[in-house]
C-alpha cells in the first residue's frame, strides 16, 4: 500500500469533496481518501499493484479539477 498527497486546484465546497472522494473510492485498489479543502490536498492510500498514481490523477482530473 502506498499513500500519496496530491495538490488539487479548484475544490471549494462540500460537493467538490464528495465528488473527488466518491470517484477515487470507486477505483479498485483505493482503500482510503482524505480531502482537505482548505489546503487543496487529497491524500490517497492505494494498492499500487491494482491502480497507478497516474490512474488516481486522471480520476481527479475527470471530476473537473487540476492536479499540480
Q: Spell out the domains of the chain, with CATH numbers in brackets.
A: 2-67 (3.30.70.100)
Query: What pLDDT shows up at residue 38?
Result: 94
Query: What pLDDT shows up at residue 50?
Result: 96
Query: What pLDDT shows up at residue 14?
Result: 93
Distance CA 61, CA 68 (A): 10
Query: What pLDDT shows up at residue 52?
Result: 95
Query: What pLDDT shows up at residue 30?
Result: 97
Decide: residue 56, CB within 10 A, 0-12 exposed, 13-18 middle, 19+ buried.
buried
pLDDT tens per residue, range 4-60: 999 999 999 999 999 999 999 999 999 999 999 999 999 999 999 999 999 999 999
Amino acid at each position: 500500500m502506498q499513500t500519496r498527497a496530491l495538490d488539487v486546484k479548484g475544490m471549494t465546497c462540500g460537493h467538490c469533496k464528495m465528488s473527488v472522494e466518491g470517484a477515487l473510492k470507486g477505483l479498485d485498489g483505493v482503500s482510503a481518501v482524505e480531502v482537505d479543502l482548505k489546503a487543496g490536498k487529497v491524500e490517497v492510500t492505494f494498492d499500487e499493484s491494482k491502480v497507478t498514481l497516474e490512474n488516481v490523477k486522471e480520476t481527479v482530473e475527470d471530476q473537473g479539477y487540476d492536479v499540480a
